[in-house]
Amino acid sequence: MSRLDQFPVGASLTLADLENDVHPVLHRLRAVEPVSWLPALNAWLVTRRDLAIEVMRKPDLFTVDHAGFSTAQVVGPSMLSLDGGEHLRHRGPFEAPFRLGAVQARFSGVVAAHVEELLDGLTARGRAELRREFAGPLAVKTMITALGLDDTETSVAAVLGWYDAIVDAVTRVTAGEPVSQAGRAAFAALKDNLLPALKRPPETSLLAAAAGMAGGLSEDQIVSNAAVLLFGGIETTEGMIANALYFLLTQPDILNLVRTNSSLWPAVIEESLRLEPAAAVVDRYAVQDVRLGQAQLAAGELVRVSLAAANRDPAVFANPDTFDPFRPNLRAHVTFAQGPHVCLGLHLARLEAHVALAQLLTRLPGLQLENPEAARPRGLVFRKPPALRATWPV
């Protein structure tokens, strides 16, 4: 039987089906083809939570260390593109400064100050596009602090410029083009700016702290991992905060809950992370011919794990499409992945979400979306509102 006959639901799907109102599609797949072949992706798509976790926890069978991954071609090998011993070597120095206590000590005040400054600039205006004018800049400023770069308007613009050029270069390499001159130049500029920060004392930045512990890593390798932090910390954090704002501003009962009881913030943030993970898909390559669920995968094939689907698996989450901050297993979502590549920045991400949302809603009472339908999160890999235009009384 051909794959198209074996996986008719997968065969019927287009990219548009996977980008917009994806959740009904994922429910259908999970029910009948939990590991399905999708010609539109030229890849397997895994939608059941237990199978998703199996893929993420078995790097010897499903690896990130593959030429198909384009990031390494632009920024060099890093923890994101390595598995096994080399992965541990690259990730190890960054573990301690990203632990909960270390993150709280280093970032609580800094993030609150960034949020306050951003809100000072917005409050009197009465309207803003909160994804690009609030969530995005907060994510960038926080990573600039983490990497020990100067927090000036020019450096924010420069970091965003390098970021855009590197993302563009990675996208082009994925499409089969060579690494662009602009991509190379942007990475070189990022490197020139990071090298002095690496050499400062550990208390000056998270990157300097990691560099102090990176005995076995060369400067180039530290810089490659720092570039990966920048990727990890910008797009996803912007999406995480924008998605949570979308849920809060379209569900007044949830908004009232946290307005009247701020101890519910962590639960509300977890539930938003579950329902709309900003990084909705993670990719692996099959190391050898392997069976996963009912499907037979061939060595070298791309396996895409849908975190969005795993997070709404009805076998684990009752009424999976409902926003319920009181569900008993709130933290069973896999939004930050699992296994060796579990998100390094998850404590920092949660801290940013909490501070940003609590301060925003305190300072802008009466905040409303202009067009909730236009703010609905979408996207295949990165899911977030295209725009979050909001108004408030001044």
Q: Is 240 in the site for ligand HEM (CB under 6 A)?
A: yes
Residues 263-292 that bind ligand HEM (CB under 6 A): 273, 277-279, 282
Question: Bridge-partner residues for 297, per DSSP?
Answer: 290
Q: Is the Cβ of residue 35 or residue 228 nearer to ligand HEM in the bound state?
A: 228
- Map tokens 């800049």 to a residue: 137
* Least Cβ distance, residue 338 to ligand HEM (angstroms): 8
Q: Is the Cβ of residue 74 or residue 180 nearer to ligand HEM in the bound state?
A: 74
Interface characters, 33-72, with ligand HEM (x: CB under 6 A): -------------------------------x--------
* Least Cβ distance, residue 92 to ligand HEM (angstroms): 10
Q: Is the Cβ of residue 341 or residue 389 nearer to ligand HEM in the bound state?
A: 341
Q: Long-range contacts made by residues 117-120, C-beta under 8 angstroms, separation at least 24?
A: 119/359, 119/360, 119/363, 119/364
Residues 86-115 that bind ligand HEM (CB under 6 A): 91
Q: Is the Cβ of residue 180 or residue 243 nearer to ligand HEM in the bound state?
A: 243
Contact 225, 249 (CB under 8 A): no
Helices (H), 125-251: 130, 136-147, 153-174, 181-198, 206-213, 219-250
Question: Bridge-partner residues for 304, per DSSP?
Answer: 45, 283
Q: Is the Cβ of residue 119 or residue 305 nearer to ligand HEM in the bound state?
A: 305
Size of the site for ligand HEM (CB under 6 A): 25
Query: How many angstroms separate the CA atoms of 170 and 153, rounded?
Result: 26
Q: Is the Cβ of residue 36 or residue 335 nearer to ligand HEM in the bound state?
A: 335
Name residue 22's amino acid.
V
Contact 191, 162 (CB under 8 A): no
- Which one among 129, 336, 369, 379 touches ligand HEM, defined by CB under 6 A? 336
- Which one among 18, 22, 41, 79 touches ligand HEM, defined by CB under 6 A? 79
Q: Is 183 in the site for ligand HEM (CB under 6 A)?
A: no
- Which one among 223, 348, 355, 367 touches ligand HEM, defined by CB under 6 A? 348
Query: How many angstroms separate the CA atoms of 352 and 217, rounded?
Result: 29
Q: Is the Cβ of residue 91 or residue 180 nearer to ligand HEM in the bound state?
A: 91
Closest by CA to 286, choosing from 37, 119, 114, is 37
Query: How many angstroms separate the CA atoms of 163 and 148, rounded?
Result: 16
Q: Is 211 in the site for ligand HEM (CB under 6 A)?
A: no
Q: What are phi and psi of 175, to 5 degrees?
A: -85, 5
Q: What are phi and psi of 117, to 5 degrees?
A: -65, -45
Helices (H), 7-67: 8-12, 15-19, 22-32, 49-57
- Which one among 180, 237, 272, 306 touches ligand HEM, defined by CB under 6 A? 237
Question: Bridge-partner residues for 382, per DSSP?
Answer: 279
- Which one among 191, 341, 354, 384 touches ligand HEM, defined by CB under 6 A? 341
Q: Is 343 in the site for ligand HEM (CB under 6 A)?
A: yes
- Using CB under 6 A, list all residues that contact ligand HEM: 64, 79-80, 91, 228-229, 232-233, 236-237, 240, 273, 277-279, 282, 335-337, 341, 343-345, 348-349
